[in-house]
């Protein structure tokens, strides 16, 4: 029987997760990363040397779980993200509004949300007159957490449009 379970695979475990409106959010917890995955993450971090590592490679949650589920699980479905944004009272930040700590940056491409990050602070860079957001990200469901300039992202996310969302009134 155990051999059959090993061959079929163990179903991913989810937790009870709901929006503020009480609707369930589909989710699943990821396995811990293997040695090869940890090495891939280390290579990525070497490429983006200005990133500040907050937490090494780990499983359980992805970027959406970091932002909306307190690092307890991973959320994958676009419809679940829309449900959270609606039920939890998020709105897109108007152009004239200033981003603040806790606002959410979404990286979207062709109608799909590829990544979410949480704004931590605004920093003035040497050559820029305005302050730019630095964010906390988790790359995938088995990489670590890094603090970085909101535009300094991996190549596969670089072409995304950026939306800033807030739950402030």
Residue 58 has pLDDT above 50, yes or no: yes
pLDDT digits (tens, 9 = 90+) for 60-117: 999 999 999 999 999 999 999 999 999 999 999 999 999 999 999 999 999 999 999 9
d(CA 138, CA 94): 26
Separation of CA 156 from chain center: 14
What would the DSSP string read from start to end of 61-80?
--HHHHHHSTTS-B---HHH
143 or 9, which is more confident: 143
- What average pLDDT does range 30-54 have in this prediction? 96
Do 133 and 99 contact (CB within 8 A), yes or no?
yes
Domain that holds residue 142: 2-166
pLDDT at 8 > cutoff 70: no
Cβ-Cβ contacts under 8 Å for 28 (sequence gap 6 or more): 12, 13, 14, 73, 74, 76
What mean pLDDT do residues 1-9 have?
Answer: 46
Inter-residue contact 66 to 60 (CB < 8 Å)? no
Residue 1 has what pLDDT?
40
Domain count within the chain: 1
Tell me the CA end-to-end span of the chain in Å, nearest whole number: 55
Q: What is the pLDDT of residues 126-137, one digit of tens each?
A: 776 788 999 999
What is the model's pLDDT at position 130?
82
């Amino acid at each position: 029987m155990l051999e059959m379970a090993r061959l079929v695979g163990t179903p991913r475990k989810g937790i009870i997760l709901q929006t503020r409106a009480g609707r369930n959010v589909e989710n699943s917890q990821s396995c811990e990363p293997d040695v090869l995955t940890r090495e891939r993450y280390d290579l990525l971090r070497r490429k983006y040397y200005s990133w500040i590592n907050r937490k090494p490679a780990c499983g359980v949650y992805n970027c959406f779980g970091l932002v909306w589920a307190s690092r307890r699980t991973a959320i994958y479905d676009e419809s679940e993200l829309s449900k959270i944004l609606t039920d939890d009272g998020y709105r897109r930040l108007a152009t004239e509004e200033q981003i603040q700590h806790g606002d959410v940056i979404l990286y979207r491409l062709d109608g799909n949300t590829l990544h979410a990050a949480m704004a931590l602070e605004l920093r003035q860079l040497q050559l820029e007159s305005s302050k730019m957001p630095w964010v906390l990200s988790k790359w995938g469901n088995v990489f670590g957490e890094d603090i970085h300039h909101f535009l300094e992202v991996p190549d596969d996310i670089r072409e995304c449009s950026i939306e800033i969302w807030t739950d402030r009134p």
